[in-house]
Structure 1
Amino acid sequence: MPDFVAPTSIVRRIWGTSDTVLFIFAGAAAEFALNKAVDWLYFTGRLPADPLGRLFTTVDYARRIVFANQAGAERAIDTIAAIHGAVEARRGQSIPDWAYRDVLFMLIAYSIKAFEVLERPLTMTECEEITAVFCRVGRRMGIPDLPTSYPAWLLAREQHLAQNLAASAYTTDLYLQYRKHLGGPRYQLLRAIQGRVVPPVVRQLLRLPSGAFLQPALAFYGLTKHWPASQWAKNALLPTDYQARIQALDGAPVEEAEPSGAAVIPLRCPIGHQVNV
């Protein structure tokens, strides 16, 4: 059975590195706070209770798809799509197609940006590969009008950023929850990291710092990230209760049974904060 993503793919390298994954979700957490479909985050009211736990559950699901074989990935994607359908039926309306694309585009955008901030510039071939992988996920989920190339995605991404973002009361509340669950120092670090990876329009709407002061630390971290002592940089972003889960993000995920009871909905609902049913 072939793998859904080739073992040598840049996508596996990105999603098998805890540093990069944390930066991906820092950026996505910022952008979706501005998304005009952000009300879906609040449909069940579960988000404020455990935003960090929701982040890790979303990471786990995304990584299962990236590291699964073709059949396993398709089963996971089909389950996610079915859960979304159930949530839409429960609310009595559909999540707009553009909102589905926005979230998929965030996976592409922040996979690229996080890797480039922490590692090196990506080649055009690597950017095409990242775009192709996540658009395959989207097509399997039935998301329409997805781009067929990296240049086409760049154009669609700019259109989405221009049309689908606005600050709202939900934006304010989400950032209050981030601060509550992270604490002051980690919250400020989160905002600095977000400032390094988000597009200018997102940085402006959220009044994020540029994060330029992080560059010397990031450069030093790049030289020492393989040292055991470098774990402090990852642990600095999240509370100590999550250290084991941060370490588990390095490498392929361990195969586990699907969780019972509440089902988690990544990808077609806000990154890092799922609606549960």
Structure 2
Amino acid sequence: MAVEIVEDSEVRGLADVFLQAGEADPARVAGSLREHALLEGLAMPAGRSGLDVFFWVAERLRGRTWVEDLGEHVVDVRWLSFHVPPGGDGQLLMRNSGDREYGMSLKILGSGWGSGREVKVSLTDDYGERDHCLDLVLDVAVRARSYVVGDGPPEICTTVLGARRVRLVSLTRCTLCGRPSEEFDPIGYELDDQLGVDLRADQAGARRSKTFELNAEDEYELGFSIGAADAGKVGMTVRRSFQTACEVSYRFPGGWCFTPFRPAYSPADLPFWAVD
């Protein structure tokens, strides 16, 4: 498998920047936090980028008291899914666009203003002909710690330590493919009609193929359980960016209409298949 991690670098979180600032003037600390958040493209607290919100962040960090180390955990970060028409098969080939060293980057940001990582992956691979959908997963190591602020409940801070390996996960049952098209509303899902095929009046089946550039980026929240008492679900922000050349081919069985959809909020995803 020619999928290789070519770079794994730290993205410092606001908590780390705050600790480095020490006991500097509050306005200077807030300014440093805001400057760093803008430079790294971090999520803005409460969706606001004004200096006042970073005074609040600094006060929040200053008032935190460490409770316990919740340990290191390995989290599955799905970075792409390849969907196969139910009853048929498909094949995916990927390579870096042009002469780029990598075709995909993941910026994975910790919660509670913890530090993250930016992982760049070279994609030059043929995933073979397959009759089940496929998830491509990056194993990421995360350390979780709990804090309290005043008399409030414990808060979880996660720090992303680094990427461990890339895995392929064959899905014996896909939660998206095979459902009727009427179940996918036009607000949450987009129709990709370039590959759809109606074979309800044809039992012979059909083949389709397409070559395209996947140049897209998106962001989603990944929740996971660390399995500790009172810790519950914690999370990370995952930002995907692709500059990848893709070749896909599909075989469709006869007697059905296959309609490709993709989530409207995930332009970096390949389509899945509704069946009628």
TM value normalised by structure 1: 0.22
Q: Which has the higher strand share?
A: 2
**The structure with more radius of gyration:** 2
Q: Report the TM-score when normalising by structure 2.
A: 0.22
Highest RCO, 1 vs 2 (Cα 8 Å, sep ≥ 6): 1
